[in-house]
Structure formats: C-alpha cells, structure tokens
Chains A and B, each alone.
Chain A
C-alpha cells in the first residue's frame, strides 16, 4: 500500500521534527518546508495528499500561501490543515478569506499527538 504523503510547512524547525515524527510513526510519509516559498517549490515537483500550514509565520504569509494554493488548479483539492498559535489568528484568517473555501481543519498550538493523527486520518479516508 502506498503511504500517503503529507507536506508540513512551518518556520519552526522543532515543529517540523515533531509533526513528521508523529506522522511517520503513524504510517505516513512526510516532506517538510521551512517557508511558504519552499512549500510552493515542493508542491510543484511532488504533489502531496495533505498539507499542514502554519499561519503564524511572519507577515501573514501563511494566509497568503493558503490562498495561493487554493487558487491553483492542480492543488486546490488537496486538504489543508492550518496550524494557529492563538485563536485570534483563525478569526483573522476567516475574515480575510475572500471566495476561498474554509480549510479542511485547524489545530492550535501546542498540538497533541492524537489530535493531529485523528484529523489527518479522517481527512484522508
């Protein structure tokens, strides 16, 4: 069985290590990106089955990339889980959303193992 591939985008290296460890331990393949730009580069080469996107990255870039991914024909069907730092981030995110559908799910830091795994498993059923 081919393992599902998950792209993790976050500017904190420790978060990348954490999330990939959890997901790989639970039967998924992971690719990591330290920035939105890096994430986009990877998307162009290697289409994942799910993306986790940190929207607390500086200068609202998380939101910018979310929109960019959704507006691309090739990538718009990939479920995206957004990772927030404070609940305010999510509210800001929702309010800046214009004609872009809501994310498949969201989690707020600090993230627990079971939360992430359950959400990913549900979305990839």
Chain B
C-alpha cells in the first residue's frame, strides 16, 4: 500500500481487514493487530472468532458472491478472550475488469453501546414489571380521559381498557365524574387524592383510595396523568368492625348496669323478706333475681356468640319441626301479653340443610322481636304475629309479620348494623346483628319491610341445600 494510504489505514478508529476470496486475511490495520493478534496466513474466522471453520452467516462471503456491501452485528473475541460486540461493514474491492478480488471488512467496536442498550432494556423491564405487577390499579390517561395504558391488576379487574374513557371503565358512567381527580391534576399539575367507589367488570363495588399524578414531556407540559388506586374495602370493613366493637362495649355497659340494678333490687327484697319473715317479699324478690339473671345470661350468650365466628354444624332438619320448636319457645310470652301468634306452612316443605341451634335461635329472635314490637305499640287494640313458611324454588322462606310499632327508614337501615336496640331497654341490641350473621353463614338472605306504627315483616330465605356442603362433597368425589 502506498504510504499516505497506509497511514490512513492504520489510523482508522476501527478494525480494518482485507480478505481474500478464501477468507484469508491479506491486510489488517494496527488496531486490528493490537486487538486480535497476528493474522498472517490465517482465516478471518480463526482470528476474529477463534473458530475452526467458516461462520454460518458470513457477510464477507456474501459480498464476494453478489458484490453488495453489507452491514451486520457480530460478537468477536479478542486475543485476551474478551467478547467484543462489533458493527461490521463489508465492501467489495474490484480490479480493472470489475471482478471482485477482495473484500474489505470494517468493524466498529460497539461494545459500550451494546452494554448501554442492555442496561436500558433491563431498566425498561424493571419499570414495566413495577407497573405491571404493582398491587394496585394503575392506569394512564390522556387529556381526553382515554386510558392509554393499564396494569395487569387493572385489566383483570376492570376489563379491557383500550380506547375507553376512564369513567366508563371504572364506574360504568357515560360522562366525567365529579369531582374528577384526573382533570384536577391536568389543570394544576399537582398530586390529588380522593376516596371513590368503583365497579368491577363482574359488578362488584370496591372502595378505593385514588391518587393521580402528572406525567410531563421533555418540555415540561403535562401530556398524561397516571392514576393509582388502592383497594381499601377490607380496611374500611375492619374499621366498621372496630366501631361496632366500641359500640358493643358501651351498650353492654349500659345494658348490664340496668340489669345489675334490677338484680340488686331482687336481692334487697329477698334479704328483707328473710329478715322480716315476709314470704311475699321474698317471693317477689326471688322473681326479680331470676328474671334479671336470665337477662344477663342472654346478653352474655349473645356476646359470646358474637365474639366467635363459627362454622355451621350442618344437619338435614325438617323445616316444620324446627319451626314448631321456635313457636313453642315464644308462644307463652305471646299468650301472656294477649297477642295472637299463628303458624302456618306449606304442606310441601320437607327438610333442609342447617345448623339446628342457630336456625332455632334465629327464628326465636325474630319472633320475640315481633312480639316486643307489639308490646311497645300503644296505637292498636289487637296485636298479632304471623309465622308463614313456604317453599320457593331452591329456598325455604320464613316470613314473620307483626302489626306492632314498626320502624322508620332510618331504624330499618340500621337494624342489622349496630348494637341497636329500639326496645327501650329490653333487648340486648345484638339479636338482629347475630340473626344476620346466621343467615349469611347459611348462604341465605333477609329482607325487611316496615312502616312506623303499622308493623313489620321479616322475610328470611335459606337455600334448601347448603352450597358449602355441596362444594365439599364435590371435592371428596
């Protein structure tokens, strides 16, 4: 090679080789020699890749064939055995006749770039994973409230989001929500938080805490907003439970002190009866003692029941039998108070799966409630409580009606939730709450209809065959 060309050749910041049609290295620049060693009489694949034979895809060979310059990426090994990523460009070298006599191979070391690319990809994967796998609902909205990206949990819970408006996906609405935290963030570029109720694709309602934050482009303009929502349904339920426990404790204290006072009264009379040898007093006092001890017992049993979450003890019980048992327990009380208590049932009803004690307690509780509602109602002369039982498809319906004092809307809505007793000191306040628990444990439901000063109807449906049992059977077989 002529001198100036030799200089240029050697000073190029890349590896240069010229190869013969047999792929032997004829000439190589200094950089190449430094990195890959002596090339004399060696094949390019030997020097570059420490291979004994030609590479499967050889750009040099291809260029010899068709004379077209090529670019490719390869991994090569240097003298020290280190892997280098290179970008290879091949160019045909022709003689005066135009025949290809050699091919020049120029390789640029792109190892660093490759490393950066790899790191970049790793980071991308990492962030993607955080987005995808995050244990909250994440979505990204554009200025028109279209969801342009959503993470796995979001997709699984709310369904497909592509090209949908966020208010449609989250809340099944046709227009923007008010207030809209996404809009606020677009407007002021601040993070906003709000508690919301959203609906899943299978119709469940979830209580969420929603946070929105702005996403800016390189110019600092807010182009998108990221919305992150955490499911706080369980948390709120636990809070409700704690509140209930707090209320339970205060209403127990209240109720129990009244009962203890009554007990004191009974004891006082008994003592006086003995002291003064007055049998009448003694008997009266003893009645008071018995009565109040009984009420304390009920309250304690209710509390213990409430404290323990128990699995039903399933048995196949005759509906009529258990209805009769409950009837027997309360009929005396109704008789004493002068109320009519009637029981009638569909002849067809047979048996059903239930926890005998629990269902009996449930029915007794509802019947007693109705009797008490009649007792405190002074607006009517005659009071009655009816107890109907009928078969309704897969369920048994127990319908207990009375023409007692009834409930206004507020009372009706609170009936199951708190330690709420509107019976003027008689009830423990736990009855309906526990009744609801029993019904839920049996897979059933309860409806209340009531009107103040008119009366109430409680309708309980219990499935004939327990779903819990049948799914257990399925597992065994």
Contact = CB atoms under 8 A, between A and B. Distances in A.
Contacts of B281: 21
A12 B258 contact: yes
A56 B258 contact: yes
B262 A85 contact: no
Interface stretch (A38-46, A67-75, A107-115): A107-115
A39 B307 CA distance: 39
A11 interface: yes
Interface centre among B254, B258, B263, B265 (most CB of A within 10 A): B265
B440 interface: no
B261 A12 contact: yes
A118 interface: no
Given A12-B258, A14-B292, A85-B257, A111 B264 contact: yes
B254 A85 contact: yes
B272 A25 contact: yes
A15 B253 contact: no
B261 A109 contact: yes
A101 interface: no
A111 B260 CA distance: 9
A86 interface: yes
A118 to B, nearest CB: 15
A112 to B, nearest CB: 7
B254 A86 contact: yes
Contacts, number: 67
Given A58-B422, A58-B424, A14 B266 contact: yes
B269 interface: yes
A113 B292 CA distance: 18
Contacts of A25: 272
Interface in A44-70: 56-58
Contacts of B23: none
A11 B263 CA distance: 16
Contact of A21 (B263, B265, B422): B265
B425 A11 contact: yes
B250 interface: yes
Contacts of A108: 257
A18 B264 contact: yes
A114 to B, nearest CB: 11
Contacts of B253: 85-86
Contacts of A88: 250
| Residues of A in contact with B, size category | 20 to 34
Contact of B262 (A12, A21, A22, A86): A12
Given A21-B268, A86-B250, A14 B257 contact: no
Interface in B173-202: none
B288 interface: yes
Interface in A75-93: 85-86, 88
Interface in A13-28: 14-15, 17-19, 21-22, 25
Contacts of B264: 18, 110-112
A58 B262 CA distance: 18
B291 interface: yes
B300 to A, nearest CB: 16
Contacts of A57: 424-425
Interface string B407-451: 000000000000000101100000000000000000000000000
Nearest to B288: A14
Give the 9 A-B CB pairs with smallest separation, nearest first: A18-B265, A14-B262, A110-B260, A109-B257, A109-B261, A110-B261, A85-B254, A85-B257, A110-B264
Interface of A: 11-12, 14-15, 17-19, 21-22, 25, 56-58, 85-86, 88, 108-113
Given A12-B258, A86-B253, A109-B258, 14 more contacts: A11-B424, A11-B425, A17-B269, A17-B288, A18-B264, A18-B268, A18-B269, A21-B269, A21-B272, A57-B424, A86-B250, A86-B257, A110-B263, A111-B261
20 contacts: A11-B424, A12-B258, A12-B425, A14-B262, A14-B265, A14-B266, A18-B261, A18-B262, A18-B266, A18-B268, A21-B265, A21-B268, A56-B254, A85-B258, A86-B254, A109-B258, A109-B260, A110-B257, A111-B264, A113-B268
